[in-house]
Chains A and B, each alone.
Chain A
Amino acid sequence: MYAYDQFDRALVHQRVAQFRDQVSRRLSGRLSEEQFRPLRLMNGLYLQLHAYMLRVAIPYGTLSARQLRGLAGIARRFDRGYGHFTTRQNIQYNWIALEDAPDALAALAEVDMHAIQTSGNCIRNVTSDPFAGVAADEVEDARVWAEIVRQWSTLHPEFSFLPRKFKIAVSAAADDRAALRIHDIGLRLFRNDDNEAGFEVMAGGGLGRTPRLARTIRDFLPTAELLPYLESVLRVYNQHGRRDNIYKARIKILVDALGVEAFRDEVEADYAAGRCDAFALPAEEERRIRAMFAPPAYPALPAETPRDRAADPAFDDWVKANVVPHRVVGYAIAVISLKPVGGIPGDASADQMDAVADLAERYSFGEIRVTHTQNLILPHVAQRDLYALWQALTAHGLASANYGRASDIIACPGLDYCSLANARSIPVAQRIAERLAAGGREREAGTLGIKISGCINACGHHHVGDIGLLGVEKNGAEAYQMTLGGDAGDRAALGAIVGRAFSAEEVTDAVETVIDVYLARRVNGERLAETVRRIGLGPFKERLYGTDEGGKDRP
């Protein structure tokens, strides 16, 4: 994984010193809140419902054991003993004091981490496939390019005051596990018929009030041209993106307004003018970064069926659900679920973080990944170690066998934590997970994505869930609007609203009803999103509302 050099370390330490001075001036009143707010946002510090919230960058979700211990230490020292892993592969702390924030950032800097550009109108954390470097279906390690884009975008002087936030995702696999189509820019690395490596460049994706799937603006961009081309995309956005209305300021609005052909023409014209050629990455720099992602020296092992599967049904369940094939014989990718049924999706205690760090050192060459589905990964586990790993995870409440299943719910923090929310999302996730796990429906349903957002900003990705729930306020009470048929992968799709919103009391039954219809109507093990594509919403509406019309909202 990438290792900081002296320059990187100097940068984060200088940033801490700069922020420490800014905080001091804010506390003494030499800076007003209006002056300070954009400065604190550029260091990922929000003011939320209960306290300040700090969002720490975890570049493309990759962490060393030492860094994860550092995050645990921050949870203990500066927060309330836990953290929350997010849908952009970052971590959030909910109880940070402003006067402690510089010390917290200093502690991060000690483990080569920071909170730079995790908020504000700039390029945010570059996210990637959580199985990068170890997946069987990968062309090459996508994180090489995620790191290159990260360095290019960090403190980029031209793109630090964009019309709005900007999110980039990179994948190099046949299977899109990075949700490329819902990003401002999605980059899919592949090899063309001449075996040259290049990117399909997609632009204009995003969720929120106006969800859009990204459109392909370049079918094949040779990898050496990536940075100059990105420069051109950002220049066009920076120049033409709206600044008069924050709800119309994302690049997806611009792509819509111009039309994808006209937008592409603008980008290609800027690119052809050659102003950005100077940004092309020198070959030796690409080699230097690529070398950091050399795979670990895996001891050669034979393929092995993990022992004890027959003897231990719980272990067998976990292997079936949470263990993914690795590209190296004898190894496996292990998913550590942060979705215990009835627990808080994506949260981990400081003790659990330390435990995972220890297990990573023991079983995964010291490396951990964070997924955008709010789980953790140990990417380099020997198959012969899976049973011991599972036993250790069980002891720490980290062995839920539910990866990708109905109780592996993505839920934003919602009204329990977030000042933007209309409704709570976590208790809804808890009740649904409990119901589906208890009744056996979870097992029957197999792979199923339930995604819950507490407001239209859609941090819970509800638009791209097989079942999506959007928290709204109806007559002073929490209610949940359901969408069906969303998909974040290669067959990306936005869910369609089924009808009137459900109350908090009704929503668990409603989700169960949808799954009943799905189980009755699916063919050939298709995903729920495919069933919806095939049979439409009618059968679901019929069962949910007793009518084809989706129920009428009471005035």
Chain B
Amino acid sequence: MSEAATLKAITANRLTDGAVVYLADGGAWRETLRGCRLAQSAEECAAMEEVARWAASSNLVVGPYAIDVTMDDAGAARPASLREAIRIEGPTVRPDLGRAEG
């Protein structure tokens, strides 16, 4: 990862209901990227992945992994890929089922 770093967040599915969640401070998992932990370096990312692994083995979440995140003009974190945008917002063909991630 370069210094002009891609930011990383950690995402997973919550074990109980499969909901898409993101690692926030204090080991909490939230259904929004807003206020979630963002890694600016490889070391930070590795530390977050360690927390995520612990959460998986503690049966909070399933299958955590790191995703690329960018900051939009309003300073809000957004997923860099379409796939992750769909995971956060819901199916593009059913806007009524999505989350308001404004």
Tell whether B35 is near chain A: CB-to-CB under 8 Å: no
Give the residues in chain B near A33, CB-CB below 8 Å. 56, 62-63
Whole-angstrom distance from the CB of B99 to the nearest CB of chain A? Answer: 10
Please judge, given known A-B contacts A27-B15, A99-B17, whether A47 and B62 are in contact too, CB under 8 Å. Answer: yes
Chain A residues with Cβ under 8 A from B93's Cβ?
Answer: 344, 416, 424, 426-427, 430
| Chain A residues near B46 (CB-CB < 8 A) | none
Contacts of B57 in A (CB 8 A): 32
Q: Do B63 and A47 touch (CB < 8 A)?
A: yes
Question: Are the C-beta atoms of B16 and A415 separated by less than 8 Å?
Answer: no
Q: Is A417's beta carbon under 8 Å from chain B?
A: yes
**A432 interfacial contact with B, CB 8 Å:** no
Is B13 in the interface zone, CB < 8 Å from A? Answer: yes
In chain B, positions 1-49 with a C-beta closer than 8 Å to chain A are 13, 15-20
Report the separation of the CA atoms of residues A51 and B62 in the bound assembly, to the nearest whole angstrom.
Answer: 11
Chain B residues with CB under 8 Å of A426's CB are: 91, 93
Given A51-B18, A99-B16, A416-B91, A29 contacting B86 (CB threshold 8 A): no
| Interchain CB contact (< 8 A) of A50 among B16, B18, B82 | B18
Binding site for B on A (CB under 8 A): 26-29, 32-33, 47-52, 80, 95-100, 344, 415-417, 421, 424, 426-427, 430, 476, 478
Specify which chain B residues have a CB less than 8 angstroms from the CB of A476 in the assembled complex.
81
Listed residue (A32, A48, A97) with the most chain B CB atoms within 10 angstroms of its CB: A97
From known contacts A47-B13, A47-B63, A416-B86, infer whether A52 and B18 are also in contact, taking CB-CB under 8 Å: yes
B16 adjacent to A97 (CB under 8 Å): yes
- Chain A's nearest CB lies how many Å from the CB of B31? 11
A446–B97 alpha-carbon span in the complex (Å): 35
A51 touches B92 (CB 8 A): no
Q: Tell whether, in the assembled complex, residue B83 and residue A28 are in contact, meaning their CB atoms are under 8 Å apart.
A: no
Q: List the A side residues contacting B62 at CB < 8 Å.
A: 33, 47
What are the 4 closest A-B residue pairs judged by CB atoms, nearest first? A97-B17, A51-B18, A416-B91, A52-B18
Contacts of A27 in B (CB 8 A): 15-16, 59
A469 to B90, CA, bound (A): 23
Could you list 16 A-B pairs, sorted by A, with CB under 8 Å?
Answer: A26-B59, A27-B16, A27-B59, A48-B18, A50-B18, A50-B90, A96-B18, A97-B18, A98-B15, A99-B17, A100-B17, A344-B93, A415-B83, A416-B93, A416-B94, A427-B93
